[in-house]
Amino acid sequence: MLAALKFKCNNSAYRPVMDAIDLLARHAGVGSDQKFYAAGESVAVEGVVPKAWRDGVVDEDSQVERIPYELCVLIALREALRRREVYVQGAGRWKEPDEDLPGDFEDNRDVHYAALTKPIDTTAFVADLKQRLTGALTRLDTGLAEGTSGGVRIITRSGKPWVSVPKLDKLPEPKNLGALKAEAVRRWGSIDLLDILKDTPFITECFTSVAGREVLDKRT
């Protein structure tokens, strides 16, 4: 993956992830018999290895084990890509976030902000956000005090406050799904999942595409 993709980042807060990627690239050709990184190697831990994983990645001698560390890097990279803090050079969906902006964004910033219904003044944006958050927390506090919070409670877990949210009730089954199940049972009875996979070519003959064309013919 590291040989095929080039990762970039414009946010200094995610520098540890980029340093970790560089570390993995430098050790791509190192044999698997080297369990730990060398003592003099700079290994980014903060911002890469979750606290819950520390004991499984760093031993009592402060040595970093390669395989679990690589898993942590992949998880951190996935989250950074999802947040668009790290991007893939030359990619489509995971490209540089600035490329998603209109070409005239800087020249017509006020027009674009108006379309997004967001203020240009950052102070006004933060003030509005604070007001909405304060209102929501106030409503939650009132609901907890009056017992109208829908079962949401503040409990204690491991000596710390914890928000307990009740499980949601099961939603009714969609009518379309029920009708589809009933028709499948009427035609073929109860079928084992393995039989479904085996007889897929036969079953798909009973369905007709609503599109004007089919990407693959039924034989394929």
Residue pLDDT, tens place only, 12-49:
888 999 999 999 998 888 887 889 998 888 899 999 99
Domain count, the chain: 2
Confidence (pLDDT) at 76: 94
Q: How far apart are CA 156 and CA 145, in angstroms?
A: 17
Q: What is the pLDDT of residue 213?
A: 67
pLDDT at 218: 63
Q: Let me know whether 12 and 93 are in one domain.
A: yes
Q: Is 130 contained in some domain?
A: no
Written as six digits, the tokens of 116 are: 């997004």
Q: Is residue 105 one of the residues assigned to a domain?
A: no
User: Does an H or E element contain 86, and which?
Assistant: strand 86-88
Domain that holds residue 93: 7-100
Instruction: Please give the average pLDDT of every successive group of 10 residues along the chain, which has 220 residues.
Output: 89 90 89 85 91 90 91 94 92 88 87 91 94 94 90 91 90 90 85 74 66 67
Query: Is 73 exposed, middle or buried, given 0-12, 13-18 or 19+ CB atoms closer than 10 A?
Result: buried
Q: Is 45 contained in some domain? A: yes
What are the residues facing 58 on neighbouring strands? Answer: 64
Q: Looking at 75, 100, 125, which one is the last position of a domain?
A: 100
pLDDT at 214: 66
Would residue 145 count as lying in a domain?
no
pLDDT at site 87: 94
* pLDDT for residue 220: 67
Distance of CA 26 to the CA centre of its chain: 27
> Domain ends where: 54, 83, 100?
100
Q: How far is CA 89 from CA 9, 85, 139, 201, in A?
A: 10, 13, 45, 41
